[in-house]
Amino acid sequence: MAKIAVIVGSLRHESYSKKIAKNVATLFPDKYETEFISIGSLPLYNQALDEDNDVPDPWVTFREKVKKCDAVLFVTPEYNRSVPGVLKNAIDIGSRPVTDSAWKEKPAAIISNAPGNLSGFGANHHLRQSLVFLDMPLVQQPEVYLANVTKILDENGKINNDDTIQFLQTFVDAFTDLIDRYVD
């Protein structure tokens, strides 16, 4: 069974990204297990702490959880045409020490979203830049930018549009194909 880390780039309790991630997690076939890994309690990355062997426990726990997963699904809103700072912090923490990056060669996929029409394009592509540098093979197509996210979620946080569900299933299928190429 392949284990997929789900990392949500929003800390808000009623986060649209979290609701989308929960919906998408149900679309994976049974041979895949998803694990939501929280990033909200991670102290800001400071390289000196790694160099001085004074690594905070939350960093250690986070790195170990990511390493135990076979792949990573990122679901993020867009903040100021980029990724939220908390997500970038988690990426930096997982990438260190460089010789033992938690991200290396883990298949990855990105879903970005926004309440407006631009749909998180900037966040998606900024995140892609980091993941390419970290040597993470990425789902290239379909790219997922969910616009007007407030209109595709019902009052219970479920996606209310069959076309969107079908599109996301196509995305999950592409992601599982990628995972299968990299994971025994």
Amino acid at 108: A
CATH of domain 2-42+55-182: 3.40.50.360
Q: In tens digits, what is the pLDDT along the chain, a chain of 184 residues?
A: 999 999 999 999 999 999 999 999 999 999 999 999 999 999 999 999 999 999 999 999 999 999 999 999 999 999 988 999 999 999 999 999 999 999 999 999 999 999 888 778 999 999 999 999 999 999 999 999 999 999 999 999 999 999 999 999 999 999 999 999 999 7
| pLDDT at residue 184, as a whole number | 76
Q: Report the alpha-carbon distance of residue 3 to residue 32 in Å, rounded.
A: 6
- Tokens representing residue 183 in the block: 């994971």
Q: Report the alpha-carbon distance of residue 104 to residue 131 in Å, rounded.
A: 9
- Whole-structure pTM value: 0.97
DSSP characters for 39-107?
Answer: -TTPPPP-HHHHHTT---HHHHHHHHHHHT-SEEEEEEE-BTTB--HHHHHHHHHHT-SGGG-SSTT--
